[in-house]
Chain A
Amino acid sequence: MPTPERYGYATARIRAMERRFVDQGVLQRMLDAEDLSSALKVLGETAYAPWLAEMKNERDFDRPISSEMFHCYEEVRQFVPDPEMGQLLRITYDFHNIKVILKSMLRHRRGQSRRWDLLTNLASRETDDLLAAMESEDYRLLPYGLSGVMEECLSVWEQTQDIVEVEKRLDAQLFRALGELAKATAFPGVLRWFRARVDAENIRNLLRLRRAGEEGVKISEFLHEGGNVSLERLVDLGSEPVESWSRVLHYADVAPYLAEMGEQGSSEAMLVMLEKALDDYISGMLAPFSYTPFAPENVLRFLWSKEIETKNVRIVLVSKTSGLDRDMVRKVLRRV
Chain B
Amino acid sequence: MEQITGTMLAVLGAALAAGWSASGSAIGIGIAGESGAGVMTEDPGKFGLVLLLQALPGTQGIYGLLTAFFAIMKVGLLGGEPVAVSLWQGLGILFACLPVAIGEYTSGIAQGKTSAASIQMIAKRPEEMGKAIIMPAMVETYAVLSLLMSIILLNSIKI
Once the chains bind, are B124 and A9 in contact (CB under 8 Å)? no
Cross-interface CB contact of A17 among B36, B42, B113, cutoff 8 Å: B42
Residues of A within 8 A of B143 (CB): none
User: Within the assembled complex, what's the spacing in Å between the Cα atoms of A155 and B78?
Assistant: 86
Residues of A within 8 A of B116 (CB): 8, 12, 293-294
> Is B120 engaged at the interface, CB distance under 8 Å to the other chain?
yes
Residues of A within 8 A of B119 (CB): 12
User: Within the assembled complex, what's the spacing in Å between the Cα atoms of A10 and B35?
Assistant: 8
Q: Given A293-B117, A294-B116, do A12 and B124 touch, yes or no (CB 8 Å)?
A: no
Once the chains bind, are B117 and A16 in contact (CB under 8 Å)? no
Q: How large is the interface on A (under 10, 10 to 19, 20 to 34, 35 or more residues)?
A: 10 to 19
Residue of B nearest to A19 (CB): B124
Q: Given A16-B43, A294-B116, do A9 and B123 touch, yes or no (CB 8 Å)?
A: no
* Interface hub of A15, A79, A294 (most chain B Cβ within 10 A): A15
Once the chains bind, are B34 and A16 in contact (CB under 8 Å)? no
Residues of A within 8 A of B120 (CB): 11-12, 15, 293
Residues of A within 8 A of B82 (CB): none
- B30-42: CB near A (< 8 Å → 1, else 0) gives 0100111111011
Once the chains bind, are B35 and A9 in contact (CB under 8 Å)? yes
* Minimum distance in angstroms from A41 CB to a CB of chain B: 25
Once the chains bind, are B38 and A8 in contact (CB under 8 Å)? yes
State the main secondary structure of chain B at its contact with A: helix
Q: Given A16-B124, A19-B123, do A9 and B37 touch, yes or no (CB 8 Å)?
A: yes
Residue of A nearest to B34 (CB): A8
Q: Given A8-B116, A293-B117, do A13 and B31 touch, yes or no (CB 8 Å)?
A: no
Once the chains bind, are A18 and B35 in contact (CB under 8 Å)? no
Once the chains bind, are A16 and B41 in contact (CB under 8 Å)? yes
Residues of B within 8 A of A17 (CB): 42
User: Within the assembled complex, what's the spacing in Å between the Cα atoms of A10 and B124?
Assistant: 14
Cross-interface CB contact of B34 among A9, A14, A15, A18, cutoff 8 Å: A9
Once the chains bind, are A8 and B124 in contact (CB under 8 Å)? no
| 6 CB-based A-B contacts, threshold 8 Å | A8-B38, A12-B38, A16-B38, A16-B41, A79-B41, A293-B116
User: Within the assembled complex, what's the spacing in Å between the Cα atoms of A251 and B38?
Assistant: 40
Once the chains bind, are B38 and A10 in contact (CB under 8 Å)? yes
* Minimum distance in angstroms from A120 CB to a CB of chain B: 26
Residues of A within 8 A of B113 (CB): 293-294
* Minimum distance in angstroms from B55 CB to a CB of chain A: 16
User: Within the assembled complex, what's the spacing in Å between the Cα atoms of A10 and B123?
Assistant: 13
Residues of B within 8 A of A16 (CB): 38-39, 41-43, 123-124
User: Within the assembled complex, what's the spacing in Å between the Cα atoms of A17 and B124?
Assistant: 8
Residue of A nearest to B116 (CB): A8
Residues of A within 8 A of B34 (CB): 8-9, 12
User: Within the assembled complex, what's the spacing in Å between the Cα atoms of A12 and B113?
Assistant: 12
Once the chains bind, are B123 and A8 in contact (CB under 8 Å)? no
* Minimum distance in angstroms from B159 CB to a CB of chain A: 44
* Minimum distance in angstroms from B28 CB to a CB of chain A: 12
> A12-B34, A15-B124, A18-B123 are known contacts; what are 12 more A-B pairs with Cβ within 8 Å?
A8-B31, A8-B35, A11-B35, A12-B37, A12-B116, A12-B120, A15-B39, A16-B39, A16-B43, A79-B41, A294-B113, A294-B117
- A218-260: CB near B (< 8 Å → 1, else 0) gives 0000000000000000000000000000000000000000000
- Among B10-44, those with CB < 8 Å from A are 31, 34-39, 41-43
User: Within the assembled complex, what's the spacing in Å between the Cα atoms of A256 and B42?
Assistant: 37
User: Within the assembled complex, what's the spacing in Å between the Cα atoms of A16 and B34?
Assistant: 13
User: Within the assembled complex, what's the spacing in Å between the Cα atoms of A18 and B123?
Assistant: 9
